[in-house]
Structure formats: structure tokens, C-alpha cells
Chains A and B, each alone.
Chain A
């Protein structure tokens, strides 16, 4: 695709976990813990390299190969870290050598009873209409479900 285009999107997701904020935060701060859940779909994606410097100004890199052969790269830089409360990082995504998006992610940890309410906000610029490799089908499915829901409303 040679035509240049930019699309912007922002969304927020919220989850509650029955674990205290320090334990939920630790799952983002430690490279071995984060490798357990920040990964591609099992059987469809295999990690190639993973690095995490969890400090303000530090970088994170995760790359992996999709079953179809494409390689995805996630490169982030941490701008704000408040222990057990907030993480702000910016990241770019590449598929093979093509940059497909640049995003800002904000993660907020709030005590809720003995557990944690987690809020993730992503604000992104999606570049030139490239596919997001394996997740495309999933995304289309979600789109169709929302379309169906809006038609029933």
C-alpha cells in the first residue's frame, strides 16, 4: 500500500482483580511475570525476543513470529511510573519492517476493596492501513458482533 493515511482511535478498558494493587502492579514491572500474560495467542504466535527496563526513560521490546511467518515488534518507552498506581508508556508496532501504529498507553491501578480496579486507556495513530497480522480476523469478528448489537438496539 503506497498511499499514506492516518486514523486515530482511543478506548478504555476496565477490569477488577481479586488481588491487591501491589501484586497487580508487580505483574507489569517484572519481565518474567509480564511474559506470562503479555504475549500473543498461544499456538499462533511465538516470542523471539523480550526485554524490559522498567524505569522512567526505560525501554521495552517484545518481538514474535506469527504462524503465517510475519514478525511483530512492540517497542515502548516508559514516561511515568508511580508504584502501585500508574504507568504511562508510548509504543510503536511494526509488522516486519513496516510501522503500523504509534500509541500512548495509560494504566491505572485503583484499590477496590481487597482487590484492584485496573483501567487501560490507549490513544493511537494507525498508519497507512496496514493489517495487524493475526489479530485482524479477531477484530473483524468483534466488529461484526458490535454491528449485530447495534442493529438489534
Chain B
């Protein structure tokens, strides 16, 4: 958790401060790519559903 953050030790207590920007930037990219994939895979499902062949007609 010290990557991109700050850490200092006073006696037995180490206080870590996470750099919000570094964290936010990586998380934002990760979430953006993931939600782009979610959107694509939803659209793929809709495309496949629209391609569904019509149900076979019953011979009477």
C-alpha cells in the first residue's frame, strides 16, 4: 500500500497515507476497461438474440 503513497514511523506506530491520485487513476482505467467490456458483451448478447433463427413451424 505504500506505492504512490507516504509512510512514516513514530515509535511502534507506522502511519501510511495512500496517494489518492495514483490509486484513483489506476482504478479509473481498470473500471473503464471493464465497463467497456461489459457493454460489448451485452451488445454481443443482443446481436446473437436478434440473429436467432425463427422457431420451427409445427406441421399440422
Contact = CB atoms under 8 A, between A and B. Distances in A.
Interface string B36-47: 111111011111
Tell me if B's interface is mostly helix, strand, loop or mixed. Answer: helix
Interface residues of B, number: 28
Nearest to B52: A19
Nearest to A142: B31
A37 B46 contact: yes
A151 interface: no
Contacts of A38: 40, 43-44
Interface in A98-133: 101, 103, 118, 120, 122, 124, 126, 129, 131-132
Contacts of A41: 39
A131 B30 CA distance: 11
Interface of B: 22, 24-41, 43-49, 51-52
Interface of A: 5, 7, 9, 11, 13, 15, 17-19, 23-24, 27, 33, 36-39, 41, 101, 103, 118, 120, 122, 124, 126, 129, 131-132, 135-136, 138-140, 142-143, 146
